[in-house]
Amino acid sequence: MTSRRLGWLSTALVVAGIAMLGASLALGPARGASAPSGWGAGGMMGGAGMMGGIWNGRASAPGPGESGFVAGTPAAPRVVRIVATPQLRFLPDVVTIQAGETITFDVTTMGPTVHEFMVGPAADVAADTAGTPEIADIGMMQTRSLTYTFTGPGPYAFACHVTGHYEAGMTGTITVQ
Ligand SMILES: [Cu+2]
């Protein structure tokens, strides 16, 4: 009787284990692909890794038309957080600003694919013009920042120019209100 119960119990535990394994695999390339160096060493799950590395503690500040909106200035830029994904997309891919605002973009790469973040006049961003403000080589789980003042009439855009990414649609739009 007792051993039979134990048998059922261990079966249940195995099933639960498989279910958990499946769940972690289902998280997909964004997290799964980082496993080889991350899990064993505890690097990814460590306090500094998760909280200090991926998220720097800053959330996007309210945008124009949202409650609590304060226009960004050179002395106090408004923070806009952007995530660069392994699917070669920016989230969000539309950022609304007020004319003249200064914005600090906190750009985080999720997953193993390295990205760039270029922002400025749409024509320069499309053409990858030298001198256009850019963060290069944002590695896995890194957050890096770029501050830009939108003084001109626009249109403005942002993009990633790692080989093939722009062509795959890794672009975003700045909407000036
Ligand atoms: Cu990219």
More confident residue, 41 or 69: 69
The alpha carbon of 94 and the centre of ligand 1 are apart by a number of angstroms equal to 16
| Residues 6+ away with beta carbon under 8 Å from 173 | 93, 94, 95, 155, 156, 157, 158
State the pTM of this model: 0.70
The alpha carbon of 55 and the centre of ligand 1 are apart by a number of angstroms equal to 19
The alpha carbon of 8 and the centre of ligand 1 are apart by a number of angstroms equal to 49
The alpha carbon of 177 and the centre of ligand 1 are apart by a number of angstroms equal to 27
- Residue 91 CB neighbours (<10 A): 13
The alpha carbon of 45 and the centre of ligand 1 are apart by a number of angstroms equal to 25
The alpha carbon of 25 and the centre of ligand 1 are apart by a number of angstroms equal to 23
Cis peptide before 155 (omega within 30 of 0): yes
Work out the pLDDT band at 45, boundaries 50, 70, 90.
very low
The alpha carbon of 133 and the centre of ligand 1 are apart by a number of angstroms equal to 15
Point out the least confidently predicted range of 3-7, 16-20, 96-100: 16-20
pLDDT for residue 177 is more than 60? yes
The SS3 of residue 97 is strand
Q: What CA–CA distance (Å, rounded) separates 21 from 32?
A: 11
The alpha carbon of 84 and the centre of ligand 1 are apart by a number of angstroms equal to 7
Mean pLDDT, to the nearest integer, of 75-103? 97
What does the DSSP 8-state code read for residue 113?
-
CA-CA-CA-CA dihedral for 171, 174, 175, 177, to nearest 10: 180
Q: What is the pLDDT of residue 123?
A: 97
Work out the pLDDT band at 11, boundaries 50, 70, 90.
very low
